């Protein structure tokens, strides 16, 4: 049975991992007979958002602790992730990918990827093990993979331009599909960059996860 490492960035679309993307991803992995183990960096969130109002809250939360809410506590610190123990990597989106795993949301490009995140993702790339990124998470791809790497965030012009400026090749992609960079065993799908419903998000996530497990 294939083993997939899943990296989360908190809990909640505006300041952490997109919960529906995470749940859909884990469901799709199990439906494709793959095991999963979630990880998250043991760091403070960039900030905390009240998801009812969209306003920042005057409190501090830990990315690992918050992410554990989604997966019923089945999670480990990112520093415990050993690439040798896994066949593939999966990174759901949510603003946490651009706020906690990287600084794209507040500094733009060139993206600075969290040091632990960068080391782990590069380890999978060097080992030529397949990886899948979704939603806004692919904005980190050009900093992790060599120049010319292909990926998608859907069709948002400004983010696509940032992807290209960092040395990547952005490919427009509908929510129901994914982009495969065969050279780097790398997949990406727009998910909630384009999705307007859970069903919408599931269409591309399911296809990408199926292919990820096939490649593993």
- How much is the pLDDT for 207? 98
Rounded distance between C-alpha atoms, residue 129 and residue 113, angstroms: 20
Domain range list for the chain: 2-215
What are the residues whose beta carbons fall under 8 Å from the beta carbon of 99, sequence distance 6 or more?
9, 15, 45, 46, 47, 105, 106
Q: What is the CATH number of domain 2-215?
A: 3.40.50.880
* Cis status of the peptide bond prior to 110, with omega within 30 of 0: yes
Catalytic residues: 135
- How much is the pLDDT for 48? 87
Rounded distance between C-alpha atoms, residue 214 and residue 2, angstroms: 9
- How much is the pLDDT for 161? 98
Cβ 151 vs Cβ 179: under 8 Å? yes
C-alpha neighbours within 13 Å on the C-beta side of residue 102: 28
- Tell me the pTM: 0.98
List of the chain residues with pLDDT < 70: none
What are the residues whose beta carbons fall under 8 Å from the beta carbon of 177, sequence distance 6 or more?
189, 204, 207
- How much is the pLDDT for 158? 97
DSSP state of 209: H
């Amino acid at each position: 049975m294939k083993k997939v490492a899943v990296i989360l960035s908190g809990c909640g679309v505006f300041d952490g991992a997109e919960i529906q993307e995470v749940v859909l991803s884990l469901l799709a992995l199990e439906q494709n007979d793959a095991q999963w183990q979630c990880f998250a960096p043991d760091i403070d969130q960039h900030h905390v958002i009240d998801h009812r109002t969209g306003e920042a809250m005057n409190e501090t939360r830990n990315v690992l602790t918050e992410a554990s809410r989604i997966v019923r506590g089945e999670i480990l610190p990112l520093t415990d992730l050993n690439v040798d123990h896994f066949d593939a990597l999966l990174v759901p989106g949510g603003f946490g990918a651009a706020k906690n795993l990287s600084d794209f949301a507040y500094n733009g490009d060139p993206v600075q990827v969290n040091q632990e995140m960068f080391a782990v993702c590069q380890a999978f790339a060097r080992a030529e093990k397949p990886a899948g990124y979704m939603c806004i998470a692919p904005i980190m791809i050009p900093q992790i993979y060599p120049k010319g790497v292909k990926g998608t965030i859907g069709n948002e012009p400004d983010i696509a331009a940032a992807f290209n400026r960092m040395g990547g090749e952005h490919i427009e992609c509908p929510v129901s599909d994914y982009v495969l960079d065969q050279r780097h065993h790398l997949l990406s799908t727009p998910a909630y960059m384009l999705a307007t419903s859970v069903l919408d998000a599931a269409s591309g996530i399911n296809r990408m996860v199926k292919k990820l497990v096939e490649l593993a």
